[in-house]
Amino acid sequence: MNVLLIVEEFCNACAALLTQPGLSPELAYRIKKMKDGVAPIHDKMYLKTLKGEETLLKCIEKTRFVKQHLSDLDDVLYSLLTDLEMTCDDLITRTYEFRVKAG
């Protein structure tokens, strides 16, 4: 699968979340931060590995879960969002570590 398309899909999913009515400023900030963190790494070598692509697909899947629970505004939503943030942070960290090790 084309990594650029997967990153685009993730960014579009985040953008869709940001347009949801009633989104709190905290949630909007956290979602925007993830989107802005993942967008610039679309051309990095780590994302072309199987593990990188799998992690990116997990991010998209978790974004869908967050969207399903967005109206709940309870602990489940915050738990899902925190899990998504940790997965995105892991993806970004591994991407830059891979670059350092390869370079």
pLDDT value, residue 22: 82
pLDDT value, residue 34: 94
Q: pLDDT grade, residue 1 (50/70/90)? A: low
Instruction: Read off the pLDDT of residues 19-39 as tens digits, 9 standing for 90 and up.
Output: 988 888 999 999 999 999 999
Q: What's the mean pLDDT in 6-13?
A: 92
- Rounded Cα distance between 25 and 55, Å, is 27
**pTM, 2 dp:** 0.86
User: DSSP readout, 38-86?
Assistant: HGGGTT-GGGGSHHHHHHHHHHHHHHHHHHHTTTT-SHHHHHHHHHHHH
Domain boundaries, the chain: 3-102
Q: Does the structure show a pLDDT above 90 at 4?
A: no
Instruction: Read off the pLDDT of residues 49-102 as tens digits, 9 standing for 90 and up.
Output: 999 999 999 999 999 989 888 877 678 888 999 999 999 999 999 998 987 776
